Amino acid sequence: MTRAELDAAAREVFGERWQRPLSEALGMSPGSVSNWLRDADPVPVPGPVAAALGAWLELLRATGLRPPVSPGSAERFDPAARPAVRGRKPRYAALL
């Protein structure tokens, strides 16, 4: 699976902000996913990850079911339940 294929499949399954949900569903660190996407010396996408993402994509297209939020969880990932934007408080917020 190439980086472009990974990106397209993960966006369809997890939405625009797919890196953290993918790492949580697979039970791995977000840094591992970042390593697959970096331009300089990228790490190949492992076969089991490509197989899992491919299976989730087929299930989503066939049944509408999404992957679990974490390994062994009965709760399904819901892109609408996750906050769209995660921001930080401005430094001056404590003064207010």
User: pLDDT tens digits, the chain, 96 residues: what are they?
Assistant: 788 888 899 999 888 888 888 888 888 888 888 888 877 777 788 888 889 899 989 988 998 888 887 787 777 787 766 554 555 655 555 554
pLDDT of 43: 77
Residue 79 half-sphere exposure, CB side, CA atoms within 13 Å? 15
3-class state of residue 61 by DSSP: helix
- Among candidates 66, 3, 79, 55, which has minimal Cα distance to 34? 3
The model carries a pTM of 0.70
pLDDT of 36: 82
- Among candidates 64, 84, 87, which has minimal Cα distance to 17? 84
pLDDT of 49: 87
